[in-house]
Amino acid sequence: MRYLILSDIHANWEALQAVAEAASSDGYDEILCCGDIVGYGADPNPCVDWVRRNAKITVRGNHDKVAVGLEDLEWFNPAAQASAQWTSEALSAENQAWLQALPRGPIPVTDFQILHGSPADEDEYVIQLAEAAVAGPYLDTRVSFFGHTHIQGGFLYQRGVPRRIQPVGAGKDRLEYELDPDLFYLINPGSIGQPRDRDPRAAWAIYIPEARLVIYRRTTYDVRSAQHKIIAARLPNILAHRLAAGR
Ligand code: ZN
């Protein structure tokens, strides 16, 4: 079984299309989505339509919640607030209802699980090793996929102590990462629509449980078109600029 793991699409249709195409040529059986389909980008409806049609399981992200009124705007910075307001007006009634009904992670898949933020709290960020250490005891399965940080990689745990996984480097578009059956893993496929690890390429992953293999991937896409749409929609300019920098 080959799972295509997607996270933090953030209404970036150009990035999602490029990843869908690359993933089709790699081959996969089922799609899992770790949340934040909307927010920041200018194409919330095409992205939600695509995930609704294609993903087997999706957990909600904080931007999905805010866009459909399940969470207050007050924790967002001004650019995120403006995009959340714009997104909630742009979303079709059908897509609003679908986002509203998304489950909170973690959600078990088979013997692994998917979630958005931390296994302890869907809205918490797991970026630093100290945060990974706090999250560790909440991991119910040996392998978990998460998002929220927009940083590809994640953590492995040896006797409860986390270490960072180094993902795909510059100049490469894939990294095959073998999992040790005795360890725990909190794996981040990275962000499709707004990478923040200084690599502007869309980030995603394939998971093959039988082979104990995660394939981290990066895919170039038409950043310019995504930026133009953000500016044409009168969303904050920063949301366009940061796509080119990958941060
Ligand atoms: Zn996000």
- pLDDT of 21 over the 90 cut: yes
Given this model, what pLDDT does residue 108 score?
98
pTM of the model: 0.97
Instruction: Note the pLDDT of residue 121.
Output: 96
- pLDDT the model gives residue 37: 98
CA of 218 to the centre of ligand 1 (A): 17
Q: pLDDT digits over 84-118, tens only?
A: 999 999 999 999 999 999 999 999 999 999 999 99
Q: Among residues 127, 122, 173, which one has the least CA distance to residue 153?
A: 127
Consecutive H or E run containing 231: helix 223-232
Using one digit for the tens of pLDDT, what is the confidence trace for 205-245?
999 999 999 999 999 999 999 999 999 999 999 999 999 99
Residue 199 pLDDT: 96
10 CA → ligand 1 middle, Å: 7
The model's pLDDT over 23-43, given as tens digits with 9 standing for 90+, comes to 999 999 999 999 999 999 999
CA 190 – ligand 1 centroid, Å: 10
Ligand 1 centre to CA of 171 (Å) is 25
27 Cα to the center of ligand 1, angstroms: 25
- Distance, CA 99 to ligand 1 centroid (Å)? 15
Cα 150 to averaged position of ligand 1 atoms, centre (Å): 6
- Distance from Cα 164 to the centre of ligand 1, integer Å: 20
For 177-221, the three-class secondary structure string (H helix, E strand, C coil) is EECCCCCEEEEECCCCCCCCCCCCCEEEEEEEHHHCEEEEEEECC
Give 192 Cα–ligand 1 centroid separation in angstroms.
10
Domain ranges (residues) in the chain: 3-245
Instruction: Tell me the pLDDT of the chain averaged across its residues.
Output: 96
- Give the max Cα distance, the chain: 51
Instruction: Find the 79 Cα to ligand 1 centroid distance in Å.
Output: 13
Residue 75: pLDDT band (50, 70, 90) is confident
Query: What is the 182 CA–ligand 1 centroid distance (Å)?
Result: 30
SS3 163: strand
Contact 243, 235 (CB under 8 A): no
| Top-level class of domain 3-245 | alpha beta
Q: What is the CA radius of gyration of the chain?
A: 17
Give whole-number Cα distances, 115 to 118, 121, 144, 153, in Å: 7, 9, 7, 15
